[in-house]
């Protein structure tokens, strides 16, 4: 039985969206148990009865505008913190929260803890490609600065994830750079290129450019946290902006355009779905001793369901213990 | 009379698109002269007669796959190089090319030359916002690495450009960062934030995130060349990807969708236009002694026309000499 600790109070639509997603997951997967951390009365309003769900009541919660480091120090009884502690204490195998990202990163690092040999866990998401296959990118901003060694570790972490959770036999690893030629980039990129080229456990395909990500140029894209964060937010902002433009172009276009949009409705929903990509799950803080997964703040029932599905895959394939083993070998090799 | 040296042989559609754009510009603006560098016979095929156009024949040209540094060293008679030399020798006031970006940057730096006090000229483009106003971002990748002083210079350069060429009285300067709070970012961003805050000639509005660029959060966005390049390419790649998705969603949607798209045609073209944004002109290597402007490799007649219009504005407002004066004051203040 896989035990997942869920922060019932995190995110814009908590606790309803969280509980709805949990209800669906419990019905769908017979091999999971859910521990819900949060306000018991509120949780019970939405919860369907199941002997595989338990509630651990707490009044405290971390808000989206709380300063992360302060929050995890002072709000020791917050739903997110108790969920992370359950993993630390061996009562749960993984944590899910749609709450404050910074606080969850801090809880992951300081409560769940790093895998030995991983210096700076990286935030990873599966992002959409036009062919629907998607790619994993990390670090998306857990760190503001990274070294070439960190980037090398991200390549290993991302490769294991893509193999195990997404079922890609030989994930193509690309280094995000300002050109595809092997000589491109700043010293950080050049040093990383060297490390990735020399690691024959990885299927390194060289430098990739942000322009080609959506076309599916790689299965795993390695970036420093600052650039990864900027690229992720550029993709999001552009997608939102274009959908807004499309909507206003339709509205400004008069009756004919509105009629057209009506006919196109299904296709436009399909487009929206393909960009949403919440079916790939949440953002994983990869490099920790257990899956710590952040679902988007605006997560609905569907997003929570798919994040639980993703966590279940991570537990099923035991990707974290594979990583522990891999990095302990690396450590020994470095000695 | 404003004299513009044009590389007639650069870009995917050269020389036809270049000459078509020049023809239109000469008809529209009575205060410009164009010097066309390239294959005289080919140029003449498309050129309309005008006493304000001269042709300087050369057989040599730089190709898109030429290695920039090597190209400007070895192809001394290339159309792009001769155009840059005309500016250096005072025969022209500005250069336009749709050719090899790296070679044009090198020609700008080594032939046209930097403004005294500007350490690392930055590549700047006006990019689209949903409200149509646009924003200027630099550096978009002229440099792989930058210091806080460079970023401070980009803020000054971009502010002058937005004021003079785009007519924005008090351009809002934003620093691209991984969060909006003043304490965010790596040491480079923190040091830049400090410099921008303390420069009261600038209207610095603080940190901005890539997610908000298309919504028009700032008039000028300052970034290091590596991040700026990644953000630009993410925006381009996402826009291309979504338009492709939209097209295939329509095609897969059957008769009803195709009928809808037919009704929506004008609105979809309007959307495409608003994203294209070539009416804002080309990418300027800002910080040089004269306007050196790169039009997109795929430029058509319209893009070339608008780039000439942009160069004319830069010359009319004498933005380069204003910058020369500003940076000479900065230099004195630093002594």
CATH placement of domain B124-278:
3.40.718.10
Tens of pLDDT, residue by residue over B160-194, are 999 999 999 999 999 999 999 999 999 999 999 99
- Summarize the confidence of residues B135-160 as an average pLDDT: 97
| Residue A270: per-residue pLDDT | 74
Judge whether residue A107 has pLDDT over 60: yes
Over residues B185-205, the mean pLDDT reads 97
Which residues, numbered 222 to 251 in chain A, qualify as contacts with chain B under a Cβ-Cβ cut-off of 8 Å? 223, 225-227, 229-231, 233-242, 244-246, 248-250
d(CA A146, CA A138): 11
Average per-residue pLDDT for chain A: 94
Q: What are phi and psi of A154, to 5 degrees?
A: -65, -35
Q: How far apart are the first and last CA of chain A?
A: 38
Which helix (DSSP H) or strand (DSSP E) does residue B296 occupy? none
Give the integer Cα–Cα distance in Å for A6 and B166: 51
Domain ranges of chain A: 1-118+287-334, 124-278
- Chain B residue with Cα closest to A260: B260
Q: Which of B66, B241, B244 to mutate to test the interface with A (most CBs of A within 10 A)?
A: B241
Model pLDDT for residues B252-270, shown as the tens digit of each residue? 777 777 777 777 777 777 7
Percentage, residues of chain B above pLDDT 90: 84
**Is pLDDT at B214 greater than 90 in this prediction?**
yes
Specify whether the CB–CB gap between B155 and B196 falls below 8 A: yes
Q: Running DSSP on this structure, what letter comes out for residue B185?
A: S
- ipTM of the modeled complex: 0.92
CATH topology classification for B1-118+287-334: Isopropylmalate Dehydrogenase (3.40.718)
From chain B, pick out residues whose CB is under 8 angstroms from the CB of A233.
Answer: 209-211
Q: Write out the DSSP string of B262-273.
A: HHHHHHHHHHHH
Q: Return the exposure string of B22-60: e unless at least 16 CB atoms fall within 10 Å of the residue's CB, then b.
A: bbbbbeebeebbbbbbbbeeebeebbeeeeebebbebeb
> Largest Cα–Cα distance of chain A, in whole Å?
72
User: Same CATH topology for A1-118+287-334 and A124-278?
Assistant: yes
CB A189 within 8 A of CB A206: no
Query: Which run of H or E residues covers position A257?
Result: helix A254-276
List, in order, residues 6 or more apart from A68 with CB less than 8 Å away.
A100, A102, A103, A105, A106
Question: Residue A47 above 90 pLDDT?
Answer: yes
Return d(Cα A230, Cα B185) in angstroms, integer.
11
Contacts of A229 in chain B (CB under 8 A): 178, 210
Quote the CA–CA distance of B99 and B295 in Å, as a whole number: 8
Q: In whole angstroms, give the CA distance from residue B73 to residue A35.
A: 68
CB half-sphere exposure, A22, CA atoms < 13 A: 33
Q: Which two tokens stand for residue A275?
A: 């960009």
Please say whether the beta carbons of A287 and A319 come within 8 A.
Answer: no
pTM here is 0.94
Give strand pairing partners of A138: A222
Residues facing residue A187 across a β-bridge: none
For residue A65, the chain B residue with the least C-alpha distance is B181
Residues contacting B189, CB < 8 A, separation 6+: A144, B175, B177, B178, B207
Q: Say whether residue A275 is in contact with chain B using an 8 A CB cutoff.
A: yes
CA nearest A256 in B: which residue? Answer: B263
């Amino acid at each position: 039985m896989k035990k997942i600790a869920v922060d019932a109070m995190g995110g814009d639509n908590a606790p309803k969206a969280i509980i709805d997603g949990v209800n669906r997951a419990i019905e769908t997967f017979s091999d999971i148990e859910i521990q819900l951390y949060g306000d018991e009365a509120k949780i019970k309003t939405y919860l369907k009865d199941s002997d595989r769900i338990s509630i651990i009541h707490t009044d405290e919660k971390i808000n989206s505008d709380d300063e992360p480091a302060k929050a995890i120090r002072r709000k020791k009884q917050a739903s997110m913190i108790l969920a992370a502690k359950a993993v630390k204490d061996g009562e749960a195998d993984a944590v899910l929260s749609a709450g404050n990202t910074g606080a969850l990163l801090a809880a992951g690092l300081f409560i769940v803890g790093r895998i030995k040999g991983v210096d700076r866990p990286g935030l990873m998401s599966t992002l959409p490609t036009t062919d629907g296959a998607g790619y994993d990118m990390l670090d998306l901003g857990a760190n503001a600065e990274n070294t070439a060694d960190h980037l090398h570790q991200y390549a290993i972490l991302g490769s294991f994830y893509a193999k195990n959770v997404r079922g890609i036999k030989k994930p193509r690893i690309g280094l995000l750079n300002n050109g595809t030629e092997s000589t491109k980039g700043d010293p950080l990129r050049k040093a990383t290129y060297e490390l990735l080229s020399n690691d024959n456990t990885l299927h390194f395909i060289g430098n990739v450019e942000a322009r080609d990500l959506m076309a599916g140029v790689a299965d795993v894209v390695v970036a420093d946290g600052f650039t990864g964060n900027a690229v992720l937010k550029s993709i999001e902002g552009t997608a939102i902006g274009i959908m807004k433009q499309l909507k206003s172009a339709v509205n400004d276009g008069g009756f004919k355009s509105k009629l057209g949009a009506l006919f196109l409705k299904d296709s436009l929903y399909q487009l929206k779905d393909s960009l949403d990509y919440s079916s790939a799950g949440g953002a994983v803080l990869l490099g920790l001793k257990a899956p710590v997964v952040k679902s988007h703040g605006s997560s609905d029932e569907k997003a929570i369901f798919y994040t639980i599905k993703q966590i279940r895959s991570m537990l099923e394939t035991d990707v974290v213990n594979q990583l522990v083993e891999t990095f302990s070998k690396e450590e020994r090799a470095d000695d």
